[in-house]
Amino acid sequence: MAQSDPPSPATAASPYTFTFAGILRGMRRTLVVAVFITPFGIAYGVAATEQGMSATQAILMSAVVFAGAAQFATLDLWQAPVAFVSLALLVLAVNARMVIMGAALAAWLNRISLGRRLLTLGFLTDVNFADMLPVYRRGERDLGLLLGSGVVLWFPWVGGTALGALTGQSLGSPEVFGFDVVMISFFGAIVVSQTRRASIATVASAAVASVLFGQYVAGGWNILLAALVGGCVHLAGRHD
């Protein structure tokens, strides 16, 4: 039996809200995962200062951009004179997956004001997207959860960056302590828990495409292309 589409938010009876209580609930949801963000922030702070950034620049970069993969990717281009066009294109490639994530959340986010929507999207990450999408599909009405689950990730990322930028290499690499395994395990658990028999082909095709495209295109674009492949396989399966 094919997996049915999630119920449309437009047909739900109760109104959507954006509450402080929801923000706190969202923060509690990802608090444990947030702890493991700190070592990656430290690693970025160390790498950024080694590449020539001042501690202030590195901390501000993390606070304003809040995009770990894109920030690491731009370090190779951080040299005088800074090639801002190349930096912008690289960030676009690495963060191209955000287009798909935003589209997936549009049915819910479009129901709150533009200001709250932009604020929430400013704290959108792979972690809180993967955690919150199934929650909203199950009927959650408070959009504050998505913001809270992102805000609680922002603090250890910025704090870790500050610690790494100010202390240098004395704290070592996060891989030494096995922190890099935590994120892989987290996303693996999310994928497995949301995969049903009807969607195995979709997930498998996207995973294979991501690995294959990753050998030929810049980082980030392989994720976007893999999502397109998975979407095509899903649509083909529905028409069979």
Q: Supply the pTM of this predicted model.
A: 0.71
215 DSSP β-pair partners: none
**Position 175: which residue type?**
E
pLDDT digits (tens, 9 = 90+) for 192-210: 766 677 678 887 888 888 8
Give yes or no for a contact between 44 and 166, defined as CB atoms under 8 angstroms apart: no
The position carrying tokens 């997956």 is: 97
Cβ count near 126 (within 10 Å): 19
pLDDT digits (tens, 9 = 90+) for 140-194: 999 999 999 999 999 999 999 999 899 876 665 555 655 556 556 655 665 676 6
DSSP summary character for residue 175: G
Kindly list the domain boundaries of the chain, sorted by start residue.
16-194, 197-240
Give Cα 234 distance to the centre of its chain.
Answer: 23
Q: What does the pLDDT read at residue 10?
A: 45
Give Cα 215 distance to the centre of its chain.
Answer: 22
Give yes or no for a contact between 55 and 165, defined as CB atoms under 8 angstroms apart: yes
Higher pLDDT, 11 or 192: 192
